[in-house]
Structure 1
Amino acid sequence: ERSLHDALCVIRCLVKERALIAGGGAAEIEASRTLLKEANSLSGAEQLCLAEFAKALEVIPTTLAENAGLNPIEIVTDLRNKHENGEREAGISVRRSGATNTYSEHVLQPVLVNTSAITLGAETVKSILRIDDIAISR
């Protein structure tokens, strides 16, 4: 029942926005790498915030590796190296038991899943910071 529900949600996402991206944590590692580069060009609180956001994105491939029974430290390090060398579609493939080009392996996901997750996460953090700001001002 849950698998059917998940499949219907994927179809709904594709109807809303007809775009697929490489799955298996490929998008998250690439976004993290890009944000870390940008963070290094900044200073102060902005640099720290961007770097922490980039680190938070790596939780997704780390969790995927753990759930696949792989060594998450080795896998995420391998993914970082592959992305640094221009392999932007490198992600985790359970079939290959490691990091590979997930796009050519047909490990894909709707882009709307990622944009929704990142937007929801950022909105949640903003809400928590507002609550914290109100509590401090009292």
Structure 2
Amino acid sequence: MTDSHLAVAGIMLAGIAFLPLLALVVVLLFVGMMCLGAGNGSVFQLVPQRFGNEIGLMTGIIGAAGGIGGYLLPLILGNLYKLTGSYMPGFICLSLITFCAFALVIIMQLKWRNSWMSPPAPVNDEATRRLGELKVDVQ
């Protein structure tokens, strides 16, 4: 489902790049941001299913990537506006980034299709084995 969210968001951002009437920009932004928000929610729903043993690590990596994007994108957009005097290049840049993410998701889905919902590997350490052997009598 995340891939369709990215595609729709990319189309909405590309439409905004042509700077239509304000009412249309508001609708396009609303739909685009709604798709990105739903995609964000689905990412954090899938992390524990795919990376059960590494959930902390993966959540940290995903959060760090979001922080980098939240820092760099406004700088890029602001500098593009200073250089060109228009918002068009910034929204085209956002749209291209979204379509690149869309392509990456499709590639990863094709690569990991067989292992996407596989159960996590069993833990084989001594402490876990001993814990399994413990028997407690409850009276």
Q: TM-score range by the shorter chain?
A: 0.3 to 0.5
Q: Which has the larger radius of gyration?
A: 2
Which is strand-richer, 1 or 2? Answer: 1
Give the alignment's TM-score, normalised by structure 1: 0.41
Which is helix-richer, 1 or 2? Answer: 2
Give the alignment's TM-score, normalised by structure 2: 0.40
